[in-house]
Amino acid sequence: MCQGFESMSMPSSTGNSTKSSQTSVCVILGCLAVGLCFLEEAAAYQATTDFSIAGNPNGTWSYLVSGSLLAVPQANCNSNLGIACWQNGLGPPNFAGILQNTTASPWNPGFLTLNPGAFDVDPENNTNVTIRWTAPSTGSWAYSGFFSGLDTTSNVHTTSVVLNSSTTLWTIPINGFGSGSSFSGTVSLNAGDTLDFVVATGSTYTSLGTGFDATILVDTDGDGIPDVSDNCPFAPNPTQTDSGGINTTVPDGIGDACQCGDVTGDGIVNIGDKTILSKSLAGLPPYFSVGAMPGFDKCDVNGDGVCNVADKTIISRALAALGPGIQQKCTAAVCHSPEMMNGVTCPVLP
Ligand SMILES: [Ca+2]
Ligand SMILES: [Ca+2]
Ligand SMILES: [Ca+2]
């Protein structure tokens, strides 16, 4: 049996922390000739959106001062109404905290403005305050975010993004109010690996408040484009080229790299594909076999695991606007390993 494709999506939320996660599951039972796809996951994590004082760790996030978990949760941080925080319970110069404005209005204690939902990360005299994200599963992850000097008299200090407490991916100096920059990248992680977003102290403990946020998304094929916005999430195509679709040169939202039916590899499904597939099935030139076609991984338009005359029939009928139609179930369009980049296999749901 070579059938059984199902998909579903499940939004989820946890406590008072709305986790912007979406999980999609694809199941293919049986016999893909070129690899197997059993489960595919797409999840989104955002530091500010996921923030909660209910627990530390908080899901995939944890909040630390100089390597130790911050232990004091407050809904009204140091009596500031609606400013939630994880902090260490100490006063200046040894305070350390991650503050979030949970009100609907900007908060201005006189030396900074914290917008609704935003973070103020402050290490004072401590080595650093770190927001840590721990990978829930093995795979490629796209991360992006920013650090920015928040205090109007912001003093010089350094922020960074660090992999597994050892490899610094980004170093971003904060040299004054509004100073800083965005960061982004894709990393291949094992379950349990960590990304640390670090705000280090400066030469003085004052005016080190730092704005920060980060979003982390599944990027299964590791091409730098998160699955949720990738027009070929399972075929690396960093350029996202979309030359057309079925009988059209108008982009159809499906990238060339996974345009099922395009056995010639030009991004368009047309009579040329039918011709090449016919010749290849018959062992005729220019390719002599289906496996040698430039777009072999886009041949299986009914997703039964093989490239054969049935696919040629479907392509031929689709060009005449007849059913059953080309399905985005060819190898290039589904999660498959070991062809995935970075040696990463298809994500498996817990
Ligand atoms: Ca991608
Ligand atoms: Ca296309
Ligand atoms: Ca083509």
Tens digits of residue pLDDT in 80-136: 999 999 999 999 999 999 999 999 999 999 999 999 999 999 999 999 999 999 999
**Cβ neighbours of residue 320 closer than 8 Å, sequence gap 6 or more:** none
Residue 212 predicted with pLDDT over 60: yes
What is the DSSP pairing of strand 119-122 with strand 157-163?
unpaired
Contact 333, 300 (CB under 8 A): no
Q: How far is the CA of 186 from the centre of ligand 1 (A)?
A: 9
If you average pLDDT over residues 233-247, what whole number do you get? 96
Take residue 252 and report the two structure tokens written for it.
């159809």
CATH topology of domain 45-218: Jelly Rolls (2.60.120)
pLDDT higher than threshold 60 for residue 54 = yes
Residue 87 belongs to what H/E stretch? strand 83-87
Mean pLDDT of 277-286: 98
Instruction: Give the domain ranges of the chain.
Output: 45-218, 235-333
Given a cut of 80, whether residue 216 has pLDDT beyond it is yes
Length of the chain: 350
Per-residue DSSP letter, 192: T
DSSP character at residue 256:
G
Q: Which ligand lies nearest the alpha carbon of 262?
A: 3
Q: How confident is the model at residue 335 (pLDDT cuts 50, 70, 90)?
A: confident
Burial of 137 (0-12, 13-18, 19+ CB in 10 A): middle
- Mean pLDDT (the chain) is 87
Q: How confident is the model at residue 31 (pLDDT cuts 50, 70, 90)?
A: very low
Strand pairing partners for 219? none
**Residues 169-198: what's their mean pLDDT?**
97
pLDDT digits (tens, 9 = 90+) for 125-169: 999 999 999 999 888 999 999 999 999 999 999 999 999 999 999
Residue 279, helix vs strand vs coil = helix
Q: How far is the CA of 280 from the centre of ligand 3 (A)?
A: 14
Alpha-carbon gap, residue 150 to 148, rounded angstroms: 6
Q: How far is the CA of 267 from the centre of ligand 3 (A)?
A: 6
Give the ligand with the smallest distance to the CA of 342. 1
Q: What percent of the chain has pLDDT over 90?
A: 81
- With a pLDDT cut of 70, the percent of the chain lying above it is 84
| Angle, helices 309-319/271-281, rounded to nearest 10 degrees | 160
Report the separation in Å between the CA atom of 258 and the middle of ligand 1, taken as the mean of its atom positions.
Answer: 12
Cα–ligand 3 centroid distance for 30 (angstroms)? 28
Residues 6+ apart with CB under 8 A from 118: 48, 100, 101, 211, 213
The ligand minimizing its distance to the Cα of 245 is: 2
Region of 222 please: left (phi>0), alpha (psi -120 to 50) or beta: left
Model confidence at 40: pLDDT above 80: no
pLDDT, residue 33, reads 31
Rounded to an integer, the average pLDDT of 169-197 is 97
Lowest mean pLDDT among 52-66, 82-96, 223-237: 223-237
Strand partners, 162: 168, 196
Element (H, E) at 274: helix 271-281
Q: Where are the beta strands (DSSP E) in 175-281?
A: 180-189, 194-200, 210-218
- Computed on alpha carbons and rounded to an integer, the radius of gyration of the chain in Å comes to 25
Longest dimension (CA), the chain: 80
pLDDT confidence tier of residue 344, bands split at 50, 70 and 90: low
